[in-house]
Structure 1
């Protein structure tokens, strides 16, 4: 969320920033924000002035009555009643305009960092690096075909009980998925220093608002009564610092947290995209990485987080490329994002498997998450970062396709051998 004072002080920067992120008529939008801000401050001033006058008049009533000047006392009482009405009217305007301003601000995406490239969509993303050599040889089977042929992947049974975009994994394939997840969480905790957290899978609307899923993306969420199922553990992990003022000592080194959780997404607006297979499911498992930092530390922490995600792909020997997203392709809360895209032989292309974002103070403002520097009275907003370390289902897809063998079985990557009870292959 943005600070209206910053918009007031430099409106041109926000017009340019939102325009570069695809916001239409950004100049008109900023004009509306400034108009509402002006109306809100005018109502606040009017209410304060009326309150001050009422208090002064109330004091004079006693003095007039002490002098037995009843005419003056009656006049002052009438004035107080009028001022009460003025206060109520100002408060009504303040509440109405304030809500309109907050609602408008809540739906506006973050501004991009200075080094984020221009661009309208994924075509404007910039490749930073590549690792590994894509699989060569004959035609590669799709992971869905491989799994179904082995009798270990059942979409039909899942559809009968849950509908489309669900899957049933069986036997050795279910074990391989579990091995992937356990391997990831072990690497992120044991090697990279992330604190493992078992966090709720259901959260209140306030938590979704804090990380930017609400109000703009409600159609992408699953709701159960007053709670929402998390689309990613980013929501529950990041909200652990909501409405707190941390002493600087607690974030002198970034707070690093990770969680292995199921995730739930309605995938609204993705009709026709990856409708078959495990790539775009309503329910999937992911290892999430979240960092809380001081402002001056977040850029370096962002690079480190991406490296922690890359380490998983390298350990599994899966070819991938690192992409810097352009302004038009970044998520709502992000100020800078790197995507990692893994090679899928059946498609002959790279597909996203991790997205790591620095959100700056955007989410912190929505959550009121702050810190206080040593020796200072003023508080500052923390910076928040999040990333996939990695998406378990998509990693399983990449393993199935990159490690498929001529007889239709799937070789187990060496890094997963300790988790597979001696199995060298699946199938």
Structure 2
């Protein structure tokens, strides 16, 4: 959430930022609500001061034998006006907060300005496209032939977009999760947490999922809970409404399933495992000071890349331009894997620096060098997401006979198994 004072004092800059983001937000309407709030506060303060002044004269009038009823009526009228203004203030402040919640974050000064994903620059790449020497099979054919997943039965259980992994496919999912958690905790210094898989509306609001993206979330209205779309939500909100008393940065990693309706993506990449409503993911989350957040963002991105390097997968890192930037992010790198049978890049991680945007929404603070409470900066990234990682492994490591070699780093996690056949 942006600070309303900052929005007022930098209205033109905020409007330019929203234009660069292609965000349809009425900044003037938000400022007008704050104008009304300020006017109400000023009028209430003036009325209370005048009421106190007049009230003091009532006792004096009684002592002098004068009738105070006219003044009492005036005091009562002031009280009624104050009550009405208090009610209006509550309504205006509610609308003001809602308006602020719908304003996306300001892009970082280093985020490239652009309109669409076509304007996203490639920052770096690692590895080379694999030369298979034969026509590669798509992962959905490989998975069906090897019994790694059963999409038809998954759809029977829950509908399309809910994959059912079976046999060695289920073991591969579990192996990848364990491998990534071990890497991040043992080599990268993250503290593992196992958060709830459901969160309340306040928690979803803290990281920016609500209210803007309500239609993309699954919900359990009876209990007021939401199955989480990412571990970012519960892990970031661990410190909501707190002044963190630990040394920064704090680095957490977590495995969770993720649930996304993705209502706005209907009909896109529906075949196989490309776009699903439930998937597994290992997440990385950092809480930093403003001074170190850029450096920690770069480190977190490298931590995600290390996963792919150890798996021997060709990838590239792109920086999102302003027009393609996520709602809450100030700066973001996407990591994309090459899938030969798809003949395209598949996103497996978004590594975002949110500056203090999420911290303001969730009220997460620390004490700065002066000992004063200040908002932390939050950073997160997938480290990394499945099942597109599974797609890349299947399609890049496939053999002409339909078997799939496994990256050597996974052999211990697969009980010594080196090949899916």
CA distance in 2, matches of 1:135, 1:262: 30
Q: Could you give the per-residue CA deviations for residues 94-127 of structure 1, whole angstroms, max 9, x where no partner exists?
A: 1222222211111111110111111122111110
* C-alpha distance in structure 1 between counterparts of 2:295 and 2:396, whole Å: 32
Please list, as runs of the form range in 1=range in 2, the aligned pairs for 1:206-355 lying within 5 A after superposition. Answer: 206-224=202-220, 225=222, 226-247=224-245, 250-251=246-247, 253-355=248-350
Q: Which residue of the partner structure matches residue 22 of structure 1? A: 22
Deviation track 1:172-218 (CA, whole Å, cap 9, x = no partner) reads 11111111110001101110011100101111000000000000100
Task: Report the counterpart of residue 397 of structure 2 in structure 1.
Answer: 403
Q: Contact 2:105/2:328 (CA < 8 Å) preserved in 1?
A: yes
Question: Aligned equivalents of 1:168 and 1:142: distance in 2?
Answer: 18
TM-score (norm 2): 0.97
Map of 2:410 onto structure 1: 416
Question: Larger deviation: 9-18 or 308-317?
Answer: 9-18
Cα distance, 1:375 vs structure 2:
4.0
- Residue 246 of structure 1: CA displacement? 2.3
The one of 31, 36, 54 aligned to 1:34: 31
**Aligned pair 1:170/2:170, yes or no?**
no
What is the DSSP-based 3-state SS (H/G/I as helix, E as strand, rest coil) of the residue aligned with 2:263? coil
Q: Report the Cα offset of residue 267 of structure 1.
A: 1.5
Measured after TM superposition, the shift of residue 414 of structure 1 is 0.3
Q: Of 183, 189, 199, which aligns to 1:187?
A: 183
Instruction: Name the CA distance, whole Å, in 2 between partners of 1:373 and 1:285.
Output: 36
Match in the other structure for 2:51 = 54
User: How far off is 1:259 after superposition?
Assistant: 0.5
State TM-score, norm by structure 1.
0.95
| Distance (whole Å) between structure 1 residues aligned to residue 255 and residue 339 of structure 2 | 24
- Which residue of structure 1 aligns with residue 99 of structure 2? 104
- Whether the 8 Å CA contact 2:352–2:380 is kept in 1: the answer is yes
> 1: distance between equivalents of 2:88 and 2:417?
69
Mapped contact 2:126–2:314 kept (Cα < 8 A): yes
Q: In the TM superposition, what whole-angstrom CA distance separates every residue of 1:255-300 from its partner, at most 9, and x where no partner exists?
A: 0001001110002111221111112111110001100111111100
Distance in structure 2 (CA, Å) of the matches to 1:404 and 1:154: 19
Q: Deviations over 1:294-326 (max 9, x none)?
A: 111110010000000000000000000000001
Q: Which moved more, 1:30-39 or 1:56-65?
A: 56-65
* Greater displacement, 193-202 / 87-96: 87-96
Please tell me whether residue 160 in structure 1 is matched to residue 142 in structure 2. Answer: no
Report deviation, 1:138. Answer: 2.0
Aligned partner of 2:197 in structure 1 is: 201
Q: Deviations over 1:407-427 (max 9, x none)?
A: 111111100011111211112
Unaligned runs of 5+ in 2: none
Query: Unpaired runs of 5+ in structure 1?
Result: none
Give the 3-state SS of the residue equivalent to 1:83 in structure 2: helix
- For residues 342 and 109 of structure 2, what CA distance do their matches in structure 1 show? 34
Secondary structure of 1:356's counterpart equals strand
1:371 correspondence with 2:366: yes
What is the number of residues matched between the two proteins?
418
- The answer to whether structure 1 residue 393 and structure 2 residue 390 are counterparts is no
8 Å CA contact retained: 2:17, 2:106: yes
Deviates more, 1:2-11 or 1:335-344: 2-11
Deviations 1:130-174 (A, max 9, x none): 100111122211111100011222111111111101111111111
**How far did 1:34 drift?**
1.9
How far apart in 2 are the matches of 1:215 and 1:243?
Answer: 19
